[in-house]
């Protein structure tokens, strides 16, 4: 029973599994096994890129029952911060890094009579682990998986081999589209819907589900935001008595960490609520990028999720209760 929540791992294997998608297998360093996890869980990778520390969340896509290694898949994106580029260009077999203990913000709801999984692109990864667990627990599921193309989609062929007709694939370049309306209208009572993919796809599925009369409790989604870049601004930590500049490609959380301070975090994607921080005062406008605070809380300006949210205009200043 270890009390630690972060461990060192080594990259044991890398593989390009589709255009722009790289799979990594991570094995533990200095301990025999990694904790088991539940389908839908993620880990946060800490990557040391020269003088910069990057921490990004990635869904665990390997078997939840394999304690010898974790697997993640990363899509190369042209995000301004360079996390995915670091994974693609700088990590190699033998590289060592730190990861956090698994956290699940996208768990299976085992009350469901049936599990309807909708994936878009790299959003397939949490479902890989989830389906392995659903299969083992003998829970009925079906997957509908949209991709740009056969070459750009990961794992679809292997998934078909493993799960047969429960895997339905759709390729944009063949003008195939997930028949969402029909799917949502033709499910037995007690079905739960899960969606993970690009933001626009999640919005589409949630809207359609609402219009089709699905109860909110039966609809689950995983929406991580990478912290967006923006204008530089200044934060003041009221309790610590520190003034810190936040660079255009840094989040507030990253700027605080770069200054040598630590604050609690879990998902770093604006979803879990762990880094919720009280605002003492603010000279500018907060750009709320999280999915945690309610619309009313965002409007009041009294709280900010420092992992993804920032100030809109250059030179403005926010005082935080930290």
Partner 1 sequence: MGLVFKNETFRDDFTFSNSPAAIKRFPFPFHEDRYMYTVNIEPHIAGPKGSVYEFPIDIDEHYLSDMRDRALVLKEDPLRCQSLPHMLTAEWDLVELLMTSMSESYPEHFTLTREGDNWHWINRPMGIDQKFTFGDVATLPYRPMEYITRQCQGDFCLLDQRDGDLWMDAGIVSTQADWSLDFDVGMSFKEWHAPVPMAHEVGVFDRALKFLLNMQQGKPVRRLNWTMTINPRLDTSPENYHKWGKDRTTVTPENVGNKVHLRVELQGLWRLPRSNAIVFSIRAYLIKMDELVTVPKWGRRLHRVLKTLPDAIADYKGTTRYRQTTIDWLAKYDDGAPTSKGCWPD
Say whether residue 211 binds partner 1 (CB under 8 A). Answer: no
- Residues 229 and 80: beta-carbon distance below 8 Å: yes
Q: How far apart are CA 285 and CA 317, in angstroms?
A: 9
Q: How far is the CB of 72 from partner 1 (least distance, A)?
A: 17
Token readout for 28 is 């533990």
User: Which position among 273, 284, 301, 302 is part of the footprint of partner 1 (CB under 8 A)?
Assistant: 273
Say whether residue 302 binds partner 1 (CB under 8 A). Answer: no
Of 87 and 266, the one with the shorter C-beta distance to partner 1 is 266
User: Which position among 37, 171, 224, 233 is part of the footprint of partner 1 (CB under 8 A)?
Assistant: 37
Picking from 220, 202, 128, 123, the residue whose alpha carbon sits closest to that of residue 167 is 128
Picking from 179, 75, 192, 58, the residue whose alpha carbon sits closest to that of residue 129 is 58
Of 181 and 300, the one with the shorter C-beta distance to partner 1 is 300
Of 213 and 215, the one with the shorter C-beta distance to partner 1 is 215
Say whether residue 266 binds partner 1 (CB under 8 A). Answer: yes
Residues whose CB is less than 8 angstroms from the CB of residue 248 and which lie 6 or more positions away in sequence, other chains included: 80, 229, 230, 231, 232
State the burial class of residue 66 (Cβ atoms within 10 Å of its Cβ: 0-12, 13-18, 19+): middle
Q: How far apart are CA 182 and CA 116, in angstroms?
A: 13
Say whether residue 318 binds partner 1 (CB under 8 A). Answer: no
Q: How far is the CB of 135 from partner 1 (least distance, A)?
A: 13
Helices (H), 151-236: 156-163, 180-185, 199-211
User: Which position among 130, 143, 272, 318 is part of the footprint of partner 1 (CB under 8 A)?
Assistant: 272
Residues 298, 258, 308, CA angle at the centre, nearest 5°? 20
Q: Which of residues 120-179 bind partner 1 (CB under 8 A)?
A: 133, 136-137
User: Which position among 62, 64, 121, 230 is part of the footprint of partner 1 (CB under 8 A)?
Assistant: 64
Of 26 and 311, the one with the shorter C-beta distance to partner 1 is 26
User: Which position among 101, 240, 258, 280 is part of the footprint of partner 1 (CB under 8 A)?
Assistant: 101
Q: How far is the CB of 107 from partner 1 (least distance, A)?
A: 4
Say whether residue 32 binds partner 1 (CB under 8 A). Answer: no
Residues whose CB is less than 8 angstroms from the CB of residue 152 and which lie 6 or more positions away in sequence, other chains included: 18, 19, 20, 21, 121
Q: How far apart are CA 60 and CA 36, in angstroms?
A: 11
Of 50 and 138, the one with the shorter C-beta distance to partner 1 is 138
Distances in Å between the Cα of 203 and the Cα atoms of 142, 199, 223 are 20, 6, 10
Q: Which of residues 108-127 bind partner 1 (CB under 8 A)?
A: 108-111
Of 21 and 306, the one with the shorter C-beta distance to partner 1 is 306
Provide the 3-class DSSP secondary structure of residue 88: helix
Say whether residue 62 binds partner 1 (CB under 8 A). Answer: no
- Residues 104 and 38: beta-carbon distance below 8 Å: yes
Query: Which of these ranges, 52-60, 152-160, 270-278, 304-312, lies near partner 1 under the rule CB under 8 A?
Result: 270-278
Of 68 and 176, the one with the shorter C-beta distance to partner 1 is 68
Q: How far is the CB of 2 from partner 1 (least distance, A)?
A: 6
Of 38 and 95, the one with the shorter C-beta distance to partner 1 is 38
* R_g over Cα of the chain: 20
Contact positions vs partner 1 (CB under 8 A):
1-5, 35-38, 40-41, 64-65, 100-104, 107-111, 133, 136-137, 217, 266, 272-274
């Amino acid at each position: 029973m270890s009390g630690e929540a972060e461990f060192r791992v080594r990259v044991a294997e890398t593989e390009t599994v589709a255009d722009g998608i790289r799979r990594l297998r991570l094995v533990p360093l200095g301990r025999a096994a990694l904790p088991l996890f539940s389908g839908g869980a993620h880990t946060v990778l800490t990557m040391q890129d020269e003088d910069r520390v990057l921490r990004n969340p990635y869904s665990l896509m390997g078997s939840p029952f394999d304690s010898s290694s974790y697997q993640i898949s990363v899509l190369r994106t042209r995000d301004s911060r360079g996390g995915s580029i670091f994974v693609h260009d700088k990590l190699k077999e033998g590289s060592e890094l730190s990861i956090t203990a698994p956290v699940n913000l996208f768990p299976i709801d085992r009350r469901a009579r049936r599990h309807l999984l909708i994936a878009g692109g790299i959003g397939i990864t949490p479902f890989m682990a989830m389906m392995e667990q659903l299969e083992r627990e003998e829970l009925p599921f079906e997957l509908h998986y949209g991709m740009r193309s056969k070459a750009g989609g990961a794992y679809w062929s292997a998934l078909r081999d493993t799960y047969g007709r429960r895997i339905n694939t759709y390729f944009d370049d063949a003008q195939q589209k997930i028949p969402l309306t029909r799917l949502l209208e033709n499910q037995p009572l007690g079905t739960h819907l899960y969606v993970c993919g690009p933001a626009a796809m999640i919005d589409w599925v949630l809207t359609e589900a609402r219009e089709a009369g699905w109860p909110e409790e039966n609809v689950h989604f995983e929406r991580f935001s990478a912290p967006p870049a923006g204008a530089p601004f200044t934060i003041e930590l009221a309790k610590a008595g520190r003034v810190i500049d936040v660079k255009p490609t840094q989040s507030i959380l990253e700027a605080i960490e770069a200054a040598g301070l630590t604050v609690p975090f879990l998902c770093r994607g604006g979803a879990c609520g762990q880094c919720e921080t009280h605002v003492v005062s603010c000279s500018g406008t907060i750009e709320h990028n999280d999915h945690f605070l309610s619309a009313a809380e965002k409007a009041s300006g009294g709280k900010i999720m420092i992992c993804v949210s920032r100030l809109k205009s250059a030179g403005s200043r926010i005082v935080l209760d930290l």
